Chain A
């Protein structure tokens, strides 16, 4: 039986090549998006699944409430929580704390690399599924000043030399002995650090004021992550009881309160609702389901093509249904036959879509900024998911036509009485077309807003010099030595060391107060030298530039916003005043610079401190005049002399900013989505026009014989479709415009986006639609009427 279905299906596909191609290709394109969503979602769901006791391992989250009743859900917890939980050994089998204060730079000899690390305990290796490639898991993190490095970090620091026992320096945090190398994580994880240092180091760092005092501070709920492994007979409820007792014992300050909750480690991402201080890589269900949602809409659109075409063509297959019914076929057998056909089409499309996906995975355009298509690992669950997806799509696309076919009554068909009233009939098909075009148009308008915004930001003036500025990565080289050498080049105007380049993200953020005990304001900061004003052409509104570090380490520059945030009456009033940063360093304001966009243009300018700190410099910003290529070559030659052991890394500030603002991958991705949706809609339209022209050939022939002109006939055929396009535009223009405007609300500096933009997109879509309609219609209108009439 199934063999007979397959035979008919394949022969039908082969006979109606155009329709088959439209169906398969349209479905394949949309399924490629669906596959992307499946693969992406699967990746999101695969975080932290390799730990040894997944059912007993929890992370503790905080819920902080301030005096005004405002609440924050935080992934982080105060540092002392770990010890007080560990005390209850009847309930708790183990605890581990991750204190990610091990930040900055790590160096060995002349090699320096940036570091994202955490302080933790030996229990790390017992609670989590991580292992050491080299070293002893029990002892490697036991002693103070021991450090375990990731394979990548070790390779960058030591090359091929054996790392064990080497002494490395973490800027500002002392010297550490390497006691182990981490094995690569067995699966995706949120706990991804370059290095882990022993917690036993922390007390001494706090004593020496290299780290703020946090170990016994219950108010520091932003700083660390606490994990708990329960005893095998303990319940989550018991743990939450314990957490409630801890919260009651140690209430967060007078103004607010702090409570804790336990979250299974395997359910951290995706989460319901936003969690502040979440680890990098975590996402919410809302975000995780956004792409599948869009994919589903596009898939639906492609399925509609199949449905539409199949219903339109069902009349020509009605005879077959009638014969089968009189030969003894039950309704469900007819239904199954046509669903099988749809499933065959969808499985063919699935194969094609996998090929498309593989192409996208390897295509640079999709992968410029981030991994658009995650690396696939093909295994049984994935294959089953794909197969299920194929079946699902087939049933989705073919279910309705199959049902329509199965409900035909054989007598009517076989007598030649065509059942003109199909289920829903023409209205259904028309609304499907409207849906497709409206969705496409909404996507296009949104993409246009997106594109306009990012090209606007990349073209806008950030308030500092970005042309002809080369950022040279220091990688441990001495900034003064290197700057001295480079400044001798003829084209170089000015050089300034910086802890990070402007236009992206500030080096860090710190709590600033004017007098100890004030309500702190969070300022962003960069470390830089006095020449920054000239190199980046910043405008000094009041006071003097930064002082050289060796003379006076305590001078800082503020921006205008910072001056306002500290409630100084004017820029001049701030000069000479002192401010406290992180309650530990007292600094004096030497000048005020005009506001500039040191962060992304997407956010408003926030308070900024520019301060000196040689240990924190990461780049030399070199402003030049004249030939860029020549200058780059000269700087590179100098680098080879000064720092031969490390590769030369530098970029032009304007190019780098442009590529970041241009959002090439995002625009490619969205461009692909809108291309697919437009293409599918156009295919659907093409198919329906072709079909309607085919079925009206006789009518057209008669009209032509009666003397109708080509123009009149073309109008007759197109009028209905044009009306549908109008309706689609009437729906999509306001919706798309609203969506675009909402998106732009996210940005502090917005591109102008009027309703004209939406209308422009509409015209574009109409043009595409006309390309689908016009040739078919003209061919029909110009054909010889006798041909049509004779074949009848």
Chain B
């Protein structure tokens, strides 16, 4: 599903440059649950952003479902964001001015899903995550764990084929973290969604099939 060939990424610093990723080769198959691990500053978040099409690599090739991403237009990438890719963030990143229901609905709006279908799909997701009672609350009225649930609900409502999660449990305590991880495992097994997560925790990594160790911009 995902193929990286000789991917590198560097930022200009002063007159020189600071290499964050260096010659990364990586293949992730559909249906996998992969954890990217590594110390702070090792480049794992950058790698995830490149995978999620939020950043462009400085060099190398990236094939998403066989298509070269680096040759895609902005429009095509946005299409992928709408249909194939979901994001979950460490800081949840819900829109503060929108209710739980409206937050979950947002990706469907951009996907031009008709109103009645939107309603039923959001209702399904709310139901599945047991947050129907919270649908009219605003993010600041929820606990961190609940907010992350909403974040995941939003990520899957558009039925993506892959979810990129950037330390999804980083701001949560361990009980909440376990719930979230089990949810990911469940989504991976029953819905066949490919999941790529960045994490610090061995425990969380254990929920996945495979761990990619990254250090100093290289895969170990």
Q: B-contacting residues of A (Cβ < 8 Å)?
A: 1, 4, 7-8, 11-12, 15, 319-320, 322-331, 333, 409-411, 414-416
In the complex formed, the residue of B with least CB distance to A411 is: B54
* Interface Cβ pair total, 8 Å cutoff: 70
**8 A Cβ contacts from B106-126 to A:** 106-107, 109-111
- Given A4-B106, A12-B97, A320-B96, 11 further pairs, Cβ under 8 A: A7-B98, A8-B98, A15-B97, A323-B93, A324-B110, A326-B87, A327-B158, A328-B107, A328-B110, A329-B78, A329-B110
Residue among B79, B97, B98 having the largest count of chain A Cβ atoms under 10 Å: B97
Q: Indicate whether B191 reaches chain A with its CB closer than 8 angstroms.
A: no
- Which of B74, B81, B91, B93 has a CB less than 8 Å from the CB of A328? B81
For B45, the chain A residues whose CB sits under 8 A away are 415
Which chain A positions have C-beta within 8 A of B158? 327-328
CA A4 to CA B110, docked complex, whole Å: 11
In the bound assembly, the distance between CA atoms of A1 and B106 in angstroms comes to 9
Given A328-B81, A411-B54, A411-B55: A7 and B102 interface contact (C-beta under 8 Å): yes
Determine if B54 and A328 form an interchain contact, defined as CB atoms under 8 angstroms apart.
no
Quick check: A322 and B110 within 8 Å, CB to CB? no
B55 to chain A, nearest CB (A): 5
Q: Is B49 an interface residue when CB atoms closer than 8 A count as contact?
A: yes
Which B residues lie within 8 Å of A325 (CB)?
78, 81
Question: Is the Cβ of B81 less than 8 Å from the Cβ of A324?
Answer: no
What are the residues of chain B within 8 A of A327 when measuring CB–CB?
Answer: 81-82, 106-107, 110, 154, 158
Bound-state CA distance A7–B54 (Å) is: 27
Contact A1 B109 (CB under 8 A): yes
B89 at the interface (CB under 8 A from A): yes
Residues of B within 8 A of A320 (CB): 95-97
Q: Is the CB of A330 within 8 A of B93?
A: no
A328 x B87 contact (CB < 8 A)? no
| 9 A-B pairs whose Cβ atoms sit less than 8 Å apart in the complex | A8-B95, A8-B98, A320-B95, A323-B95, A324-B106, A326-B81, A328-B83, A328-B111, A330-B78
Label chain A's interface by main secondary structure. helix
A409 / chain B contacts, CB cutoff of 8 Å: 54
The complex places the Cα of A15 from the Cα of B138 at a distance, in Å, of 13
B75 at the interface (CB under 8 A from A): yes
Chain B residues within 8 Å of A8, by CB: 95, 97-98
Q: List chain B positions with a Cβ less than 8 A from chain A.
A: 45, 49, 52, 54-55, 74-75, 78-79, 81-83, 87, 89, 91, 93-98, 102, 105-107, 109-111, 154, 158
* Complex CA distance for A325 and B54, rounded to whole angstroms: 9
In this complex, what residue of A is CB-closest to B84? A328
Closest chain-A Cβ to B38's Cβ sits at a distance in Å of 16
Query: Out of A4, A324, A328, A416, which one reaches B102, CB within 8 Å?
Result: A4
How far, in whole Å, are A325 and B109 apart by their CA atoms in the complex? 12
Q: Are B109 and A4 in contact (CB under 8 A)?
A: yes
* Cβ contacts under 8 Å, B98 to chain A: 4, 7-8, 11
* Most interface-central of A331, A409, A415 (chain B CB within 10 A): A415
**Pairwise interchain contact B93-A333, C-beta atoms closer than 8 A:** no
**Whole-angstrom distance between the Cβ of A409 and the nearest chain B Cβ:** 8
A322 near B93 with CB under 8 A, answer yes
Distance A11 CA – B99 CA, assembled complex (angstroms): 11
Q: A410 contacts which of B54, B102, B106, B154 (Cβ < 8 Å)?
A: B54
Residues in B with CB closer than 8 Å to A329 are 78, 110
Q: A414 and B93: CB pair below 8 A? A: yes
Task: Name the B residues within 8 Å of A411 (CB-CB).
Answer: 49, 54-55
Q: Are A11 and B97 in contact (CB under 8 A)?
A: yes
Q: In the docked arrangement, what's the CA distance between A11 and B79, Å? A: 29
Q: With A319-B93, A320-B95 given, is the CB distance from A414 to B106 under 8 Å?
A: no
Q: Considering the complex of A and B, which 6 residue pairs feature the smallest CB-CB distances, nearest first?
A: A328-B82, A411-B54, A328-B110, A327-B107, A11-B97, A328-B81
The smallest C-beta distance from A9 to any residue of chain B, in angstroms, reads 9
Which chain B positions have C-beta within 8 A of A326? Answer: 52, 54, 81, 87
Which residues in B have their C-beta under 8 angstroms from that of A333? 110
User: Chain A contacts of B91 at CB under 8 A?
Assistant: 416
Complex: how many Å from CA A415 to CA B54? Answer: 11
> Considering only CB atoms, which chain A residue lies closest to B54 in the complex?
A411
Shortest Cβ distance from residue B105 to the other chain A in the assembled complex, whole angstroms: 8
CA distance in complex: A416, B90 (Å): 11
CA distance A333 to B94 in the complex (A): 18
Least Cβ–Cβ distance between A403 and chain B, in angstroms: 16
Q: Which residues of A contact B82 (CB under 8 A)?
A: 327-328
Docked CA distance A449–B186 (Å): 79
Contacts of B102 in A (CB 8 A): 4, 7
Measured in the bound complex, the distance between the Cα atoms of B74 and A331 in whole Å is 9
How many angstroms between the C-alpha atoms of A416 and B91 in the bound complex?
Answer: 10
Q: Which residue of A lies closest to B115 (CB)?
A: A3
Closest chain B CB from A600 CB (angstroms) = 60
Q: Nearest chain B CB to A539's CB is how many angstroms away?
A: 79
Name which residue of chain B comes closest to A12, CB basis.
Answer: B97
Chain A minimum-CB-distance residue to B52: A326
Residues of A contacting B93 in the complex (Cβ-Cβ under 8 angstroms): 319, 322-323, 414
Q: Cα distance A7–B105 when bound, in Å?
A: 13
Q: Which residues of A contact B96 (CB under 8 A)?
A: 320
For the complex formed, measure the closest distance between the CB of A328 and the CB atoms of chain B, giving whole angstroms. Answer: 3
A330 surroundings in chain B (CB, below 8 A): 74-75, 78, 110
B16 nearest CB across to chain A (Å) = 20
Roughly how many angstroms separate A415 CA and B158 CA in the complex, as a whole number?
A: 23
Judging by beta carbons under 8 Å apart, are A328 and B78 in contact?
yes
Closest-by-CB residue of A relative to B79 is A328
Which residues from B are CB-within-8-Å of A12? 97
Closest chain A residue to B111 by CB distance? A328
Smallest CB-CB separation from A320: which chain B residue? B95
Q: Which residues on A sit within 8 Å (CB–CB) of B89?
A: 414
Task: Kindly provide the distance from the CB of B119 to the nearest chain A CB, expressed in whole angstroms.
Answer: 13
Chain A residue, CB-CB nearest to B94: A323
Cα-based distance from A168 to B96 in the complex (angstroms): 80
B21 nearest CB across to chain A (Å) = 14
A670 to B: closest C-beta gap in Å: 42
* Nearest Cβ on chain B to A733's Cβ, whole angstroms: 44
User: In the complex, A416→B167 CA distance in Å?
Assistant: 14
Which of A325, A414, A416 has the most chain B CB atoms inside 10 A of its CB? A414
Residue of A nearest to B80 (CB): A328
CA distance A411 to B20 in the complex (A): 15
Minimum distance in angstroms from B140 CB to a CB of chain A? 11
- State the Cβ distance, B25 to closest chain A Cβ, in Å: 22
Min CB–CB distance A703 → chain B (angstroms): 28
In whole angstroms, what is the CA distance A322 to B107 when docked? Answer: 13
Q: What is the CB-to-nearest-CB distance from B110 to chain A, in angstroms, rounded to a whole number?
A: 4
Measured between C-beta atoms, what is the minimum distance from A212 to chain B in Å?
A: 79
Residues from chain A with Cβ under 8 Å of B74 in the complex: 330-331
How far is B158's CA from A238's CA once the two chains are assembled, in angstroms? Answer: 72
Question: For the complex, what is the distance from the CA of A69 to the CA of B94, rounded to whole Å?
Answer: 78
**Cα–Cα, bound, A416→B93 (Å):** 11
| Residue among A11, A328, A330, A414 having the largest count of chain B Cβ atoms under 10 Å | A328
Cα distance A333–B81 in the bound complex, in angstroms: 14
Per the bound structure, the CA–CA distance linking A331 and B81 in Å amounts to: 13
User: A326's closest neighbor in chain B, by CB?
Assistant: B87
Q: With the chains together, A405 CA to B107 CA distance in Å?
A: 19
Residues in chain A near residue B107, CB distance under 8 A: 327-328
Contacts of B154 in A (CB 8 A): 327
A328 to B54, CA, bound (A): 11
State the CA gap A635–B27 with chains docked (Å): 109
Residues in A neighbouring B105, C-beta threshold 8 A: 4
Q: Using CB atoms, name the residue of chain A closest to B110.
A: A328
How far is it, in angstroms, between the C-alpha of A319 and the C-alpha of B154 when the chains are bound?
A: 16
Q: Which residues of B contact A331 (CB under 8 A)?
A: 74
Q: What chain B residues lie within 8 Å of A11 (beta carbons)?
A: 97-98
Is B110 touching A414 in the complex (CB atoms < 8 A)? no
- The CA of A415 and the CA of B49, in the complex, are separated in Å by 10
Minimal Cβ-Cβ distance residue in A for B89: A414
Q: B52 contacts which chain A residues (CB < 8 A)?
A: 326
Residue of B nearest to A1 (CB): B109
Query: In the complex, what residue of chain B is closest to A15 when comparing beta carbons?
Result: B97
Whole-angstrom distance from the CB of A640 to the nearest CB of chain B? 73
Bound CA–CA A141/B87 (angstroms): 87
